[in-house]
Structure 1
Amino acid sequence: MQNVGLFLTKIQTFDLRIITKGEEQKQAYSIIHETPYYNSFSYKSETRVLKDTALIDLLSQEVKFLDHYKQTVTKLPIM
């Protein structure tokens, strides 16, 4: 579950900044200052890898839980 912790920490510690974009001067959130990379594709890739490994952690825990649940249920006496 270490990867889940890393992912949650990453998304909870974003320092969102409000910027103004375009000719219409619309406000938007920006995390550009969060990335040490010049290329945003690299940053998106790193975030995607964190997300994917967190999902794998969660799914593997779910399988363990379901196996334990199945073993527990089969041990219960039928009334």
Structure 2
Amino acid sequence: MGDLTREASFGLAYNGAIFAREKLGYLLAFDHIVDTGPGSGLVFRPLEPPLHTDLYFTWKRGRPLTPIAERFCRQVREAFGG
């Protein structure tokens, strides 16, 4: 692959995946963030050695959440015991 330089960053991996699919570059993202299944035009290759990161789910205390955000928070709490 040679030397790589970062030319762009994306707030949404989906947007970066569009660029990668069009062969405009490579996307560095977590596994299962974008579709890499058959027919997607993309493939996931893990880094070697593997990299790991801690992720935190945060929001502003006391701020009212939309119904969909409430539902999402509830599902995260149920899934991860928070």
Report the TM range for the smaller structure's normalisation. under 0.3
TM-score by length of 2: 0.23
Task: Say which one has the larger Rg.
Answer: 1
Higher RCO by CA contacts (8 Å cutoff, separation 6 or greater):
1
Higher share in helix: 1
Higher share in strand: 1
TM-score by length of 1: 0.24
